[in-house]
């Protein structure tokens, strides 16, 4: 198999040029010192060449923090009109993201910056002991049918990926997964955190460590959904390999990569800031909204781009590290007092009440109204009335009095067309 970078090279992407620059970037001792020049270079380019962005910004600011924050809704619609005119006739990379809103945003990357994205992926994965040519067990969704389905299948074949479908999880499905691990020499497992967590619960119930079935396995990379640190350890113990965690977004690529409990930001390609609700820059350690600037992409102007994620960062030894990652702001619960709470609060409540590994396969908390939460549980064994009562008490302790909690044991949790689901889902219209 040829691997992603060789395929990009065949398709005409400037991989060699991008690799020369990338090698220079990864050997920089103080990447943050380079950011001042790089971030202004990309801003000045977009401001002078991109009519949409110039209109969006208005009068040219002198201070970086005065550049207006750009959001997904500013970039939705006709993507071609939002890139520099000189790139509209070129062959670029086109992608899209819908995130949790369900409203697609198409974005464009020039071929050089897209090659940089893949060089960075290769570089980070090499730190885990795998390469882009390694056989991957991909715990991911896939379109149900049509052209998109066959496109993904072709990509899986070329990139050496065996897809383990996540749209319907259960013992029968997990037994099929286990059989595949017996038969194929997978080097790593990659995919949705919650689905891999459920698979590990299945492995524990069978008293199986996956590494014993698949000795070639060396790493697991989690993506897409945040999980508790103790659940990462649970995955590690049941897979028998080291667990890494990837945080990113399709439009900007990998943002942070967690190695040895430290979230390392991709300073080679991105500039990250944290601001408060009024857009004011926050100091290291303070929790606020993440803004991302793509330092090399000359197409869609992702400059001070608000993803919707909340957390904190710190700068040390010439690099940036994420010190706290709470998740998407629109994924937070809202209490009757108006206080917002991160999804991890619900995960901790369930963990405290049930010590749930062994009984629960998956869970989802749905906020129906400001004072009513429904906890959906997919269980290996039915819960009794005491379990239900403990869970309700723990939720009230975590959320406060005046909150109603309903418990539902269900056969499965509904997933999106991609096979992904959120452990917390709100039915409340955002204010």
What CATH code is carried by the domain that includes residue 94?
3.40.50.12780
Last residue of a domain, one of 273, 308, 328: 328
- What is the distance between the alpha carbons of residues 255 and 263, in angstroms, rounded to a whole number? 9
Residue holding tokens 């998740």? 327
Percent composition of the chain: helix, strand, coil (DSSP 3-state, to 5): 35, 25, 35
The Cβ-side half-sphere exposure at 324, using a 13 Å CA radius, reads: 13
Last residue of a domain, one of 278, 296, 328: 328
Residue holding tokens 């492995």? 203
Instruction: Give bridge partners of residue 430 from the DSSP assignment.
Output: none
pLDDT, position 157: 82
pLDDT, position 355: 64
My answer on whether 319 and 346 are in the same domain is: no
My answer on whether 297 and 422 are in the same domain is: no
Asked, for residue 313, whether it belongs to a domain, the answer is yes
My answer on whether 387 and 255 are in the same domain is: no
Asked, for residue 147, whether it belongs to a domain, the answer is yes
Asked, for residue 114, whether it belongs to a domain, the answer is yes
Range of the domain at 354: 332-426
Asked, for residue 376, whether it belongs to a domain, the answer is yes
Asked, for residue 108, whether it belongs to a domain, the answer is yes
User: What CATH number is attached to the domain comprising 360?
Assistant: 3.30.300.30
Strand, helix or coil at 95? strand
Going residue by residue through the chain, which has 431 residues, state the pLDDT in tens, using 9 for 90 and above. 567 888 888 889 999 999 999 999 999 989 999 999 999 999 999 999 999 999 999 999 999 999 999 999 999 989 999 999 999 999 999 988 865 545 678 999 999 999 999 999 999 999 999 988 899 999 987 766 667 777 788 888 888 899 988 777 778 889 999 999 999 999 999 998 888 988 998 899 899 999 999 999 999 999 877 777 888 999 999 999 999 999 999 899 999 999 878 899 999 999 999 999 999 999 999 999 999 999 999 999 999 999 888 999 999 999 999 998 876 665 678 888 878 777 777 777 887 777 655 567 778 888 889 889 999 988 877 888 888 888 888 888 888 888 888 989 988 887 765 566 777 888 887 65
- What is the distance between the alpha carbons of residues 275 and 290, in angstroms, rounded to a whole number? 7
pLDDT, position 357: 52
Asked, for residue 431, whether it belongs to a domain, the answer is no
My answer on whether 317 and 338 are in the same domain is: no
My answer on whether 39 and 167 are in the same domain is: yes
My answer on whether 319 and 359 are in the same domain is: no
Report the phi/psi class of residue 429: left, alpha or beta, with left for phi > 0 and alpha for psi in -120 to 50: beta
My answer on whether 322 and 340 are in the same domain is: no
Q: Give one DSSP letter per residue of 7-39, joined into a string.
A: HHHHTT--HHHHHHHHHHHHT-S-HHHHHHHHH
My answer on whether 296 and 366 are in the same domain is: no
| β-bridge pairing 188-192 and 161-164 | unpaired
My answer on whether 106 and 230 are in the same domain is: yes
pLDDT, position 211: 96
For the chain, the domain total comes to 2
My answer on whether 246 and 200 are in the same domain is: yes
My answer on whether 149 and 234 are in the same domain is: yes
Instruction: Tell me which H or E stretch contains 111.
Output: helix 111-126
Last residue of a domain, one of 328, 357, 386: 328
pLDDT, position 393: 87
Cβ atoms of 262 and 319 within 8 Å: the answer is: no
- Starting from the edge strand earliest in sequence, which strands make up the sheet with 372-379, in order? 404-409, 372-379, 360-369, 424-426
Closest-CA residue to 142 (of 413, 422, 419):
419
Asked, for residue 343, whether it belongs to a domain, the answer is yes
Instruction: Give bridge partners of residue 292 from the DSSP assignment.
Output: 272, 305
My answer on whether 285 and 340 are in the same domain is: no
């Amino acid at each position: 198999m040829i691997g992603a970078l060789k395929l990009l090279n065949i398709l005409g992407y400037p991989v060699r040029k991008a690799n020369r620059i990338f090698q220079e970037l990864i050997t920089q001792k103080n990447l943050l010192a380079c950011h001042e020049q790089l971030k202004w270079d990309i801003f000045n380019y977009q401001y002078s060449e991109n009519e949409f962005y110039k209109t969006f910004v208005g009068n040219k600011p002198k201070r970086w923090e005065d550049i207006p924050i750009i959001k997904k809704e500013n970039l939705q619609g006709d993507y071609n009109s939002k890139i520099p005119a000189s790139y509209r006739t070129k062959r670029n990379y086109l992608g899209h993201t819908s995130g949790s809103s369900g409203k697609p945003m198409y974005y464009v990357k020039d071929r050089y910056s897209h090659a940089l994205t893949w060089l960075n992926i290769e570089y980070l994965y090499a730190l885990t002991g795998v390469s882009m040519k390694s056989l991957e067990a991909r715990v991911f969704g896939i379109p149900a049918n049509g052209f998109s389905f066959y496109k993904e299948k072709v990509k899986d074949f070329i990139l050496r990926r065996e897809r383990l479908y996540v749209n319907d999880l259960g013992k029968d499905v997990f037994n099929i997964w286990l059989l595949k691990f017996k038969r194929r020499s997978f080097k790593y497992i990659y995919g949705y955190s919650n689905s891999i967590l459920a698979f590990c619960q299945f492995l524990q119930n069978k008293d199986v460590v996956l590494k014993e079935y698949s000795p070639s396995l060396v790493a697991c990379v989690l993506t897409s959904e945040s999980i508790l640190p103790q659940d990462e350890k649970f995955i590690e113990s049941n897979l028998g390999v080291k667990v890494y965690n990837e945080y990113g977004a399709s439009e900007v690529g990998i943002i942070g990569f967690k190695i040895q409990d430290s979230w390392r930001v991709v300073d080679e390609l991105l500039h990250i800031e944290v601001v408060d609700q009024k857009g004011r820059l926050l100091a290291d350690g303070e929790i606020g909204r993440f803004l991302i600037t793509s330092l090399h992409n000359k197409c869609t102007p992702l400059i001070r781009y608000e993803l919707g994620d909340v957390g904190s960062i710190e700068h040390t030894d010439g690099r940036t590290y994420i010190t706290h990652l709470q998740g998407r702001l629109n994924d937070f619960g809202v209490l009757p007092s108006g206080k917002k709470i991160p999804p991890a609060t619900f995960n901790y409540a369930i963990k405290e009440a049930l010590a749930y590994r062994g009984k629960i396969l998956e869970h989802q908390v749905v906020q129906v109204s400001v004072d009513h939460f429904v906890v959906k549980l997919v269980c290996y064994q039915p819960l009794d009335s005491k379990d239900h009562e403990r869970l309700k008490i723990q939720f009230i302790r975590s959320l406060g009095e005046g909150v109603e909690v309903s418990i539902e044991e269900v056969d499965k949790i509904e997933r999106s067309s991609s096979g992904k689901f959120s452990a917390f889902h709100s039915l409340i219209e955002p204010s």
